[in-house]
Amino acid sequence: MVRQRVERKLAAVLIADVAGYSRLMELDEEETHRRLSMLQRELVGTRINQHQGRIIKTTGDGAFVEFVSVVNAVRCAVEIQRRMKERNATVPEDRRIEFRIGVSLGDVIVEPNDIYGDGINVAARLEALADPGGICISHTAYDQVRDKIPYPFVDRGEHKLKNISRPVRVYALSAEAVAALPAFPSTSEAPGSSYRKRPAVLAACVAGILLITGGLWFGIKSARAPQSAPDSSRISIVVLPFVNLGGNSAQDYFADAITEGLTTALSRVKGAFVIARSTAFTYKAKGVDVKQVGRELGVRYALEGSAQYGSGKVRVNAQLIDTETGTHIWAEQFDADRSDLLEMQDDIVIRLSRALSLQFVDVRLGRAMRTRPGNLEAQDLALHCLSSLIRTTDLEAIGSCRRAIQLDSGNALALSLSAFATIYPVFISQSDNPKDAVKMADELASWALAADPNLSGGHVAKGMVLMAQGRHEEAIAEAEKSLDLNPSAIDGYLVIGVANNFLARPDRSLEVTERAIRRSPRDPFLSGLYQVRSEAFFILRQDDNAIESARRSLALASYRDPYTSLILISASALSGQRAQAGDELKAYLADDRAKSKTIAQFQTQQLSLASNAGWLTYNARFADGLRRVGFPE
């Protein structure tokens, strides 16, 4: 009998766990889950990717990660702990999330989706020995990093570890020692970086950008080459290899990473048929006729582009082409700093994905209207509704969604958009009947999620309903589900920003809206993000900033949003700009969309949305500003 060969390799292993996790969950289960989910998504996953790590497993409070380099593993551990120290600076001690981290280097058995061996066991035992906020590494790891990175590990001597036959010498870095370290060099410039030498590793890191929330993470969603021509009702696309215009072939990896990351991101778009990257890369460095590509692969659209370095910046150009006609449907140029290479690529991929997903609505709608004018079915009506809302944000456009629901009561897109349109006036304190609106929106959002639990817009609509019901933390969790399903869903960030304002946490609101604007700087919903920022600045009593953001919001909107106008009126009056406030008040009172014509009407709706002390103080000051300019009582 021939014994099957076991594959083995030398690997660096990092294991992280939350100290006192059970205690934190007992104190406040929902808040702990929300904060940990945000940390996993925004900090831990990002740093692991930057240091070329691969997550093997996640648990509710920890992660098991493999690295090709122990230097990278230790750097990653130190950077995570350093960032955690900064984040915890303003958090009460009994509420702090603090990681223990263990790192080892050892021989492991390799399986397709897992690794086994003493190296993993040692890392787990070292994690348990680490102080909260600290790191413990094995002597084998220490021997490799001691002359390469200047971290002051302390020799804690030999320890007898459970289920490990021999004693292991342990080296520790305390939380205090981590905090005292100098600023980190950029990962892309770090000594010994292997990015340029291993372009395939970098491409894999970008394509597998981890979006971790509550233990759930998305890796590469497999795309398949077509067995036959895809359904013509679906969006079918190939991302052709982006061209490196920098003139240095060593930088080809960046263009390849953009190509692969876009393929992955677009494969998550519901209803999209995306050609696998392995097929797409067969066209690399070849002069291609997009019409021929379309025929060969059976796709309607091709995305092509280029990437170029220069003066610390990266420029990416992208074009969407109709393979049937060869015409350019959409083109965009993106510029970004090179200071944080992987994070920058993540931003570009998400911004491109966002722009493309919006363009697809118009492309598909236009095609449907050309081929079946006067006979649009439910989904085409829903797309028409979405396209109108994207373009105008005028809620009167919801009529096509109502017709879609009449044709198909299970159309999730139409249901979620209708829920949004029904609940939105409640948030800007302009609803004729808030109680009935909340009830109807709740039913619509619930029906949408019942029809399609993976529709990101359904979770956004549900989050807005939860906010109107005063369940703001639950609303944030619902919005985070939306971002898990679609990282380019900017309206998910919008919900998180609004909820944090209701909870009188304006700093968090400003942080999340800034991130959203950075990721989609030309987003159709940009006016809403600036409205949220204006409210946050008002809560902080930064009236000049509130006025500036309100003006930006109104300038970007297709019509004057009543709530933004009220912020502008009150903030202007409070800052002594009576003439400007008076002009804005006249325009507001003459606006048919403005339903709250008295302070009493406005405050009744405002105070129904939240009842905490910060929100009450904000609204008292809001009303004071309106009174100063003569707003009717």
pLDDT in tens, 11-24: 899 999 998 888 88
Report yes or no on 405 lying in a domain.
Answer: no
Residues 6+ apart with CB under 8 A from 207: 220, 257, 260, 261, 263, 264, 277
- How many domains does one find in the chain? 3
Report yes or no on 458 lying in a domain.
Answer: no
What pLDDT is recorded for position 520?
65
Are both 219 and 154 inside the same structural domain?
Answer: no
Whether residue 231 is predicted with pLDDT greater than 80 in this model: the reply is no
Are both 163 and 209 inside the same structural domain?
Answer: no
What pLDDT is recorded for position 619?
92
3-state DSSP assignment of residue 611: coil
What pLDDT is recorded for position 74?
93
What pLDDT is recorded for position 99?
94
The more confidently predicted of residues 10 and 333 is: 10
Q: What is the dihedral of CA 371, 328, 517, 209, to 10 degrees?
A: 90
What pLDDT is recorded for position 209?
21
CA pair distance 361, 355, nearest whole angstrom: 10
Answer positive or negative: Cα dihedral of 357, 316, 254, 241: positive
- When pLDDT is averaged across residues 172-184 and rounded to a whole number, the result is 77
CA pair distance 467, 426, nearest whole angstrom: 10
Are both 219 and 334 inside the same structural domain?
Answer: yes
Are both 179 and 205 inside the same structural domain?
Answer: no
Are both 214 and 115 inside the same structural domain?
Answer: no
CA pair distance 462, 481, nearest whole angstrom: 11
CA pair distance 618, 607, nearest whole angstrom: 10
Q: What is the pLDDT of residues 256-272, one digit of tens each?
A: 777 877 776 676 665 66
Q: What is the CATH number of the domain that holds 314?
A: 3.40.50.10610
Report yes or no on 386 lying in a domain.
Answer: no
Are both 119 and 154 inside the same structural domain?
Answer: yes
Report yes or no on 109 lying in a domain.
Answer: yes
The more confidently predicted of residues 207 and 46 is: 46
Domain limit, last residue, from 371, 397, 418: 371
Are both 183 and 209 inside the same structural domain?
Answer: no
Q: Which of the given ranges, 134-148, 277-291, 443-457, 616-630, has the highest pLDDT on average?
A: 616-630
Q: How many CA atoms lie within 13 A of 78 on its CB side?
A: 26
What pLDDT is recorded for position 550?
92
3-state DSSP assignment of residue 497: helix
What pLDDT is recorded for position 202?
24
CA-based end-to-end distance of the chain: 92
Are both 117 and 226 inside the same structural domain?
Answer: no
Are both 142 and 254 inside the same structural domain?
Answer: no
Are both 553 and 623 inside the same structural domain?
Answer: yes
What pLDDT is recorded for position 601?
87
Exposed/middle/buried for residue 436 (C-beta within 10 Å: 0-12, 13-18, 19+): exposed
Whether residue 6 is predicted with pLDDT greater than 80 in this model: the reply is no
Q: What is the pLDDT of residues 587-605, one digit of tens each?
A: 888 887 777 889 898 888 8
pLDDT bracket for residue 455 (50, 70, 90): confident
Whether residue 324 is predicted with pLDDT greater than 50 in this model: the reply is yes
Q: What is the pLDDT of residues 506-564, one digit of tens each?
A: 999 999 998 888 766 666 678 889 999 999 999 999 999 999 999 999 898 877 888 89
Domain limit, last residue, from 189, 224, 240: 189
- Tell me which of 228-232, 250-254, 282-286 is least confident: 228-232
Whether residue 359 is predicted with pLDDT greater than 80 in this model: the reply is no
Give the bridge partners for 244, in sequence order.
307
Are both 330 and 213 inside the same structural domain?
Answer: yes
Mean of the per-residue pLDDT values of the chain: 77
Report yes or no on 489 lying in a domain.
Answer: no
Domain limit, last residue, from 309, 337, 371: 371
| 266 token code pair | 């677009």
Report yes or no on 171 lying in a domain.
Answer: yes
Whether residue 365 is predicted with pLDDT greater than 50 in this model: the reply is no
CA pair distance 445, 495, nearest whole angstrom: 15
- pLDDT above 70 covers a percentage of the chain that reads 77
- 592 lies in which domain range? 517-633
Are both 35 and 177 inside the same structural domain?
Answer: yes
Exposed/middle/buried for residue 520 (C-beta within 10 Å: 0-12, 13-18, 19+): buried
Whether residue 378 is predicted with pLDDT greater than 90 in this model: the reply is no
- When pLDDT is averaged across residues 431-456 and rounded to a whole number, the result is 85
Residues 6+ apart with CB under 8 A from 94: 27
CA pair distance 576, 565, nearest whole angstrom: 17
Q: At what angle do helices 29-39 and 472-485 cross, to 10 degrees?
A: 30
Report yes or no on 484 lying in a domain.
Answer: no
Residue holding tokens 């397709």?
112
Q: Which of the given ranges, 321-335, 391-405, 410-424, has the highest pLDDT on average?
A: 410-424
Q: What is the CATH number of the domain that holds 24?
A: 3.30.70.1230
Whether residue 208 is predicted with pLDDT greater than 50 in this model: the reply is no
pLDDT bracket for residue 102 (50, 70, 90): very high
Report yes or no on 403 lying in a domain.
Answer: no
The helix, strand and coil proportions of the chain, stated in percent and rounded to the nearest 5, come to: 55, 15, 30
User: Cβ(98)–Cβ(132) under 8 Å?
Assistant: yes
| 18 token code pair | 């939350």
- When pLDDT is averaged across residues 463-482 and rounded to a whole number, the result is 90
Residue holding tokens 């102080």?
131
